[in-house]
Amino acid sequence: MDFNFTSEQDQLRDTVARLVRQQYDFDTRRKVAKSEAGWRPEMWSQFAELGLLGASFSEEDGGFGGGAIEAMIISEEFGKGLVIEPYLQTVIIGGNFLRHGGTAAQKEEHIAGLVGGETIFAFAYSEPKSRFDLNDVSTTAKKDGAGYTLNGHKAVVIGAPFATHLIVTARTAGGQRDISGISVFVVPKSAKGITTRDYPTVDGLRASEIYFENVSVGVDAVLGKIDGGLPLIEKTVDYAIAALCAEAVGCFKVLNEATITYAKQRKQFGQPIANFQVLQHRMVDMFMAAEQATSMTYMVTLKLDEADKARKLAASGAKVQIGKAGKLISQDAVQIHGGMGMTDELNVGHFFKRVTMIESQFGNTDWHLRRYTELSNS
């Protein structure tokens, strides 16, 4: 057992932290989020040049020899800058689908482009009626000669406007909520029959509603097993949850630091409000929540390659902890900032919104508490 980072990992953190500090200040981020494109492709190229996109791939998969810990470090530092670019969608989700489900040919086709910054993924899984259930899939993929034909509507596909490729979950057999009969496809976004409606999200990202109308794909588009895609989806989503937890931890640290700094400066009743014990104890609770969230993020990151049940328990446990911590920290940060915390001008509100969206991404606190309970009693 070892809880220390290697010196390479420390260096990676320094690199990402410096990048965020120098090129991802709050005003710049706000401008980018409001720009027409909604992101900076040149920033993505820079991530590629710095090796960030390949940092969590093993060398045999075409990366630089790291893994989930590298992903955690990058995600946390990105969280501190509210980074918009689709790292989670492309590297964590796209990358893990390929790592755990891709054939040698699919890895060959996609990983180099991903690491080099040319291939960008978005994960089209949720549907208007599916809420958080990964097995609730109405989009169909019907066998059609040598390939499949996709039809359906995917909802709130984060990062889709930036993507070159979509990873799509579709039903190849069974009923809407059946565990089996789900398959995963990787489809170029430019494929004939795909239409999208792009829009901004409340936390400054971009997303799309995506409609598939008789979209033809070959068998080489299938990631993993036909009809048996759910375990692969669940595993990849657990990797995404771990990275999302790390991103949340980055947000928590910024919120806590901002709150403490503000409380020391802001004077009322002739003294800094940081002198008031009622606020001090709230800030200590925020600090403890962030520390416990950090611990749970380590925990899930270190357990991602354990057997299914242990991994799912870890992911759900972490998501519950992060969800609760996020509510506490983001709400109290706004409260202690007072009226200023309500403004668009201050970064606090922007972190508040991101943390709020993280709580419901890939299952909210209640959903994961239920999954945790069912698993631990099974």
Partner 1 sequence: MDVQFSPEEIAFRQEVRAFLETGYPAELRGKFSRDEYSKEDFLLWQRTLFARGWGAPAWPKKYGGTGWNATQRYIFQEECARAETLPIPPFGMSMLAPVLMAFASEDQKAHYLPRIIEGKDFWCQGYSEPGAGSDLASLKTKAERVGDHYIINGQKTWTTLGHFADWIFVLCRTDPTAKKPQEGISFILVDIKTPGVEVRPIITMDGGHEVNETWFTDVKVPVANLVGKENEGWTYAKYLLAHERTGIAGVARSKKGIERLREIASVELDQGAPIIRNPDFAKKISELEIDLSALEYTELRTLARESRGEGPGPESSILKIKGTEIQQRITELTLEAVGVYGAPYFRGFPQDGDNQHPIGPDYAHLTAPMYANMRKTSIYGGSNEIQHNIIAKMVLGL
Q: Under the rule (CB under 8 A), what is the footprint of partner 1?
A: 1-5, 69, 260, 263-264, 274-275, 277, 280-281, 283-285, 287-288, 291-296, 298-299, 301-303, 317, 320-321, 369-370, 372-373, 376-377
Question: Hey, is 139 helix, strand or coil?
Answer: coil
DSSP string, 288-314: HHHHHHHHHHHHHHHTTTS-HHHHHHH
The span from the CA of 364 to the CA of 132, in Å, is 8
8 A C-beta contact, residue 210 and residue 196: yes
Q: CB-hemisphere CA count at 13 Å for 263?
A: 23
Rg (C-alpha) for the chain, rounded Å, is: 21
Q: What is the phi-psi region of residue 139: left when phi exceeds 0, alpha when psi lies from -120 to 50, beta otherwise? A: beta
Which residue number, 164 or 280, has a Cβ lying nearer to partner 1? 280
63 residue type, one letter: G
Return the number of the residue (335 or 373) whose C-beta is nearest partner 1.
Answer: 373
Q: Between 1 and 307, whose beta carbon lies closer to partner 1?
A: 1
Q: How far is the CB of 314 from partner 1 (least distance, A)?
A: 8
Distance CA 56, CA 65 (A): 7
- Shortest separation between residue 81's beta carbon and partner 1, angstroms: 23
- Least distance between partner 1 and beta carbon 322 (Å): 10
Q: How far is the CB of 285 from partner 1 (least distance, A)?
A: 8
Q: Give 282 or 350: the residue with its C-beta nearer to partner 1.
A: 282
Question: Which is closer to partner 1, CB of 236 or CB of 321?
Answer: 321
- Which is closer to partner 1, CB of 275 or CB of 364? 275
Nearer to partner 1, 166 or 279 (CB): 279
CB 246 within 8 A of CB 298: no
152, 128 Cβ separation under 8 angstroms = no
Residue 196 tokens read as 């999208």
**CB 50 → partner 1: shortest distance, Å?**
22
Nearest approach in angstroms of CB 370 to partner 1 is: 8
Measured from the CB atom, is 103 or 376 closer to partner 1? 376
Least separation in angstroms between residue 256's CB and partner 1 is 8
What is the DSSP-derived secondary structure letter of residue 146? T
Cβ proximity of 198 and 160 under 8 Å? yes
Pairing of strands 165-171, 147-158: unpaired
Least separation in angstroms between CB 296 and partner 1 = 5
User: Phi and psi for 63 in degrees, rounded to 5?
Assistant: -105, -155
Calpha distance 177→292 (Å, rounded): 35
